[in-house]
Amino acid sequence: MTTTVLVTGGAGFIGCALSKQLPDHFDRVVAFDNLHPQIHPTATRPADLDERVEFIKGDVTVAEDWDRLLADVRPNVVIHLAAETGTGQSLTEATRHAKVNVVGTTELLDALVRHEALPEKIVLSSSRAVYGEGAWVDADGVVSYPGQRSDAMLESGQWDFPGLTVLPFESSKVSPNPTSVYGSTKLAQENILRAWCLALNVTPVLFRLQNVYGPGQSLSNPYTGIVSFFAQKAKALEVIPVYEDGEIIRDFVYIDDVANALVQGVLHSGANEHAYDIGSGEGTSILRIAGLIADYYGAPAPQINGKYRNGDVRAASSEIGASEAALSWKPEVMVADGVVRLCKWIDAGAPALV
């Protein structure tokens, strides 16, 4: 029997990384992508998309595109990557984010029913943004959810919640409470997919990814990819601007580690009650990563400017022990090494998504 995997958003950063592995496990690999100009300025098939992968251009929000696709493609597994991902951009383009992330998902599900093409499994690439500011703990060990930092709070330079320390994100312990439109759409996506899959006997496998970076990411998209943005500033020997007080914490996870985790989920995971948290397990300050990149290029020291962005969370890191155990997986590239790999790729000419 021919086995087929369909990857929505399959010509994107993560899709291209997956394309190097999936043909080893499936007879047919189909990438479905609209080649949005924000990611693909020339709207052509990316050079990084493995030649063994079929590419079909189409929009996940358009029913007719799904009809055209599913007339020929009968997927055993769907990997749902297609999404709008800009946290800040989602505040001013909320409809676009909701349409792609929420309606795009429901169009996928409706089309699978319409064509009687239910897969065995759907793997969703969700986001750490669903947690929002997450859970914080006080000196007595009492856990609370302080919620979104207000504009007034940020304007006054109050970056943290007084007397509280943030806990790492872990899906079995930290409740989602998104602070951005983007995060809200990703949480809706999770809930819709889980409810639909369990009702129709399809296996849902949910991942919550931390900040993914590495060779292959778009260098032209101003709304995602802070590591590549810093690298391009430093390569030009410009000062890297650092927001707030520099102590914003993120878990930067290397693209190959993300691809390996997703493949493990595709091949081996059953339905997971709690989403897999995928990160490096290492929280890194924005000032530190800016410093690593500046040092690599011999650029001026990064400059803290006190600016902020509404919807951004103060600290985002992950506890990945449960994901490591369930997926027989572990991250291999920590941030100090990953930054060097990214910078070398940029220096070599960066055959990024086009």
| pLDDT score of 83 more than 90 | yes
Does 352 reside within a domain?
A: no
Specify the pLDDT at position 354. 43
Q: Is 273 a domain residue?
A: yes
Q: 131, 182, 276, 297: which one is catalytic?
A: 182
Residue 265: φ, ψ to 5°: -65, -40
Q: What is the mean pLDDT of residues 2-6?
A: 94
Q: Is residue 118 part of a domain?
A: yes
Query: What's the whole-number mean pLDDT along residues 187-216?
Result: 97
Which CATH number characterizes residue 329's domain?
3.40.50.720
The tokens for 304 are 């803290």
DSSP 255: H
Nearest to 331 by CA among 262, 280, 275, 270: 280
pLDDT at 353: 43
In 3-state terms, what secondary structure has residue 232? helix
Is 253 a domain residue? Answer: yes
Q: What is the pLDDT of residue 85?
A: 76
Average pLDDT taken over every residue of the chain: 93
Q: Is the confidence at residue 63, as pLDDT, over 60?
A: yes
**Position 352 pLDDT exceeds 50:** no
Range 112-123 average pLDDT: 98
Give dist(CA 244, CA 304) in Å, integer. Answer: 7
Tell me, what's the pLDDT at 41? Answer: 72
Mean pLDDT of 32-55: 86
The pLDDT tens digits of the residues spanning 225-280 come to 789 899 999 999 999 999 999 999 999 999 999 999 999 999 999 999 999 999 99
Q: Whole-model pTM?
A: 0.94
Active site residue 182: yes
2 pLDDT above the threshold of 80: no
What total number of domains does the chain contain? Answer: 1
| pLDDT on residue 219 | 79
Q: How many residues in the chain?
A: 354
pLDDT at 125 over 80: yes
- Is the CB of residue 105 less than 8 Å from the CB of residue 187? no
Range of the domain at 155: 4-347
Residue 354 lies in a domain: no
CA distance 259 to 16: 9
Query: Is 353 inside any structural domain?
Result: no
Could you give the angle at the alpha carbon of 86 between the alpha carbons of 167 and 61, nearest 5°? 120
Is residue 107 domain-resident? Answer: yes
pLDDT at 183 > cutoff 50: yes
